[in-house]
Structure 1
Amino acid sequence: MLYGDKKSWEYLRNAVGWAMLRGKGDYLLDMADGYNGRDTDGHYSNMFDAYTAIHCADPGAETPSAERLQAALAKVREQAPLVGAHFTEKDLFDPDCRSWPTHSTEQPHVVKATGSAPILVVGSTGDPATPYAWAEKVAAGFANATLLTREGDGHTGYGKSTCITNAVNTFLTDGTMPAAGTRCPTD
């Protein structure tokens, strides 16, 4: 629910309140089922299995040291004792690739592409899944890229800002790139 906008955060707050006041976790379970791809028959999609396989095979997949994990765990427990009391090492990074059977020997590299057609990169300043710095880095790696920025919280920009949606649609339909440095508010 934290990937969404303030409305999804409101749903989460209400579900937690319902669970705390009434002792019922049904709304929280519904949210977890939706997130984990569980259908009404109790079957799960292979979404997280695929995510783990792809992520752990990625040359950039990080496997933090035990010392680094313990330091991070101590920091969480100090700064957020209510949540941190229930945290384990596995909660600190996703997915846990330490037990994955194969690891890439490749090293991540900086993309430096020249001669491409124009590329539009969209980034959101408050995206909890894909940090804005990543969008900046991708855009910087292409000679013909323009970074379009959505100011606001939530995952992705398209559909969350009329300005972003219109700029992307215009680029895709007639090839007109938004002005460099364009920043759009969230609706």
Structure 2
Amino acid sequence: MAGVIGLTSAPASSQEGGSIPDDPAWIPMQELTTGIKPPDNVVVRIWQDVLQAEADTIRSGDGQIYVRGERTTLPDDGFRPSDFLWARFEAEGAEYIVSIMGQRPPACDNGPNSATATTIHSVCPARLTTIPKDGSNATTVEQPGACAIWPSQAVEPEPNTGSFAKMEGDIISLEAMQNGTPVPDCRLTFSLEE
């Protein structure tokens, strides 16, 4: 596989394969939370364009952001603290990193925000980065509609809740699960074709 050529997206109800609790191929996506000066990390580099655009927008205004409830000036070499979900897979001469960045609306739809809201996921763009092991250039593609649940941000941790990823053949799938049940219409797939 030289790179990513095709992309498809389909709701969970039309997908085949085991459910998350029953299929060990599903892995929980890892969380990465950055500060104003993020680490040199492959996931941060994948989203560098978004981080830079946000920083430029902040600096074109008053340059102020809130960090842990405190108003502060964004340094010239800094970025808005951000949250990411990511998973890594390897196959046939390439490494694949699928990631989601928590962004402010309208980039992400963070759902209803009320005392009676039961939806805890955000719907955000996802990126798939293919890094060939032969040293050739990495490629990144993006598509909308990934459901993201950050378990560490839940008020009360819930069992079997989070975002999960699976690589099966030429497909990498993302899905969110809340209390052990897949969130309806939340499966997003990236198709890897030669």
TM over 0.5: no
Structure with the largest fraction of strand? 2
**Structure 1 length as normaliser, TM-score?**
0.24
Larger Rg: 1
